[in-house]
Amino acid sequence: MARGQPRKDDEEVMKKELAICGTRLTVGIAVLGSLLTAIPLFAHHAFQAEFDDKKPVHLVGKVTKMEWINPHAWIHIDVTDADGKVTSWMVECGSPNIMLRRGFTKESLEFGTVLTVDGYQAKNGSNRANGSSVTFRDGRRLFVGGSNPDIPPEQRQ
């Protein structure tokens, strides 16, 4: 055998080491991919972090704006009290995808639509709520929440 040339045993060892490195690389990539897909789950807040299930709200008002944005759709409504004072509320809903699957369309909540919203107020007392359900004047009722305690069992994911 010429000097500097690998022996047959050395070639076998190198092949085994390359196979081990390839396996480690594959496992590493799989683990990294799993971690990256889990990041959005950690970034998403829990209902309990922002809203108070002991502060239910029942709002009757007119839609002023509908935001179809991720991770949550938002319904903006103006609520008029008995004295005629108007208060603006922001109602957090599920994701646009969830809203569409539950029967909403972009035309469902046009400007001026009168509706009733049941949900839970923000812990900080602001005029923000996590919506549970929306009831239209014609009696149709749709669940809008994505993370509150009122989610119907058949709609849990």
Q: Which of 77, 73, 157 is nearest to 118 (CA)?
A: 77
Stretch 133-146: mean pLDDT, rounded? Answer: 87
Distance of CA 150 to the CA centre of its chain: 16
What CATH architecture applies to the domain 47-151?
A: Beta Barrel (2.40)
* pLDDT-above-90 percentage for the chain: 40
Q: Domain coordinates of the chain in residue numbers? A: 1-43, 47-151
CA dihedral 116, 137, 147, 93 (to 10 degrees): -90
**Closest C-alpha to 116, from 101, 92, 132:** 132
| Encoded amino acid at 81, one letter | D
Query: What is the per-residue pLDDT across 30-66, written as a single tens digit (0 to 9) for each?
Result: 666 665 555 444 444 567 778 898 999 999 999 999 9
Rounded Cα distance, 5 and 127, in Å: 78
Average pLDDT over residues 107-125: 92
Mention every residue, 6+ apart, whose C-beta is less than 8 A from residue 111.
63, 64, 65
Side chain identity, residue 61:
G
CA distance 58 to 100: 23
Q: CA 48, CA 1: separation in Å to the nearest integer?
A: 73
Q: Render pLDDT for 11-34 as a digit per residue (tens, 0 to 9).
A: 777 777 777 777 776 776 766 666
- Helix, strand, coil content of the chain in percent (nearest 5): 30, 35, 35
**Which amino acid belongs to residue 113?**
T
